[in-house]
Chain A
Amino acid sequence: EAEVAQSPRYKITEKSQAVAFWCDPISGHATLYWYRQILGQGPELLVQFQDESVVDDSQLPKDRFSAERLKGVDSTLKIQPAELGDSAMYLCASSFRMNTEAFFGQGTRLTVV
């Protein structure tokens, strides 16, 4: 069964270090999302891609976060420098196109110490 792949599953990093997360969406899915989920809350959108283009990054803290999807397939989310408040689950999701079912990966749990 096709699924969204994310790595790493867990990451512990020190404050002020750089960290990167990778996502490989379901094959053929044009829309890719990165969400951040704080424990006990619903996921909040960081960035949405349509193919290789960003369609929404309004909630992405652009002073420290960056995201790319260069060939319109897999994607990388980077944080530099990491802060204690960045500790959360980072989720990637994909959908065939906009307004269709979105499927999530298992997430990357980030702990900043």
Chain B
Amino acid sequence: QKEVEQDPGPLSVPEGAIVSLNCTYSNSAFQYFMWYRQYSRKGPELLMYTYSSGNKEDGRFTAQVDKSSKYISLFIRDSQPSDSATYLCADVGGTSYGKLTFGQGTILTVHP
């Protein structure tokens, strides 16, 4: 079992829709969580960083963490065609040096 499992998608939504991207993790020692956006042939770009259960909002993006269920989500409101990308969840912890472990990514397409 992978330490971080991510809904693989792909996901296709119309412009303006609310998008929900989800990951589960197995190692309860994971302490910090990040969401990245990756455009084709580019490096991942950090969107959100959170370390506590609950919601964290940044513009159209909301990261949600439920440590009791080992479940993390990213919500995108009012999705735009420019949001079309691969979204990666990443968890930090589980070791003394803070290993950063990624899910396999979800491909999102927002069509006009």
Contacts and interface: CB of A to CB of B under 8 A. Distances in A.
Report the contact-size class of chain A (Cβ under 8 Å from the partner). 20 to 34
B32 A103 contact: no
Interface residues of B, number: 27
Given A33-B100, A42-B104, A101-B49, A106 B43 contact: yes
A98 B97 contact: yes
Interface string A27-57: 0000101010000111111001010000110
B60 interface: no
Contacts of A109: 41
A62 B92 CA distance: 24
Nearest to B8: A40
Given A41-B104, A42-B88, A104 B98 contact: no
Name the prevailing secondary structure of the B interface residues.
Answer: strand
Contacts of A89: 41
Contact of B43 (A44, A55, A101, A105): A105
Contact of B46 (A42, A50, A56, A103): A103
Interface in B25-58: 31-32, 34, 36, 41-46, 49
A44 B103 CA distance: 9
Contacts of A102: 34, 46, 90, 92, 100
Interface of A: 4, 6, 31, 33, 35, 40-45, 48, 50, 55-56, 89, 91, 93, 98-107, 109
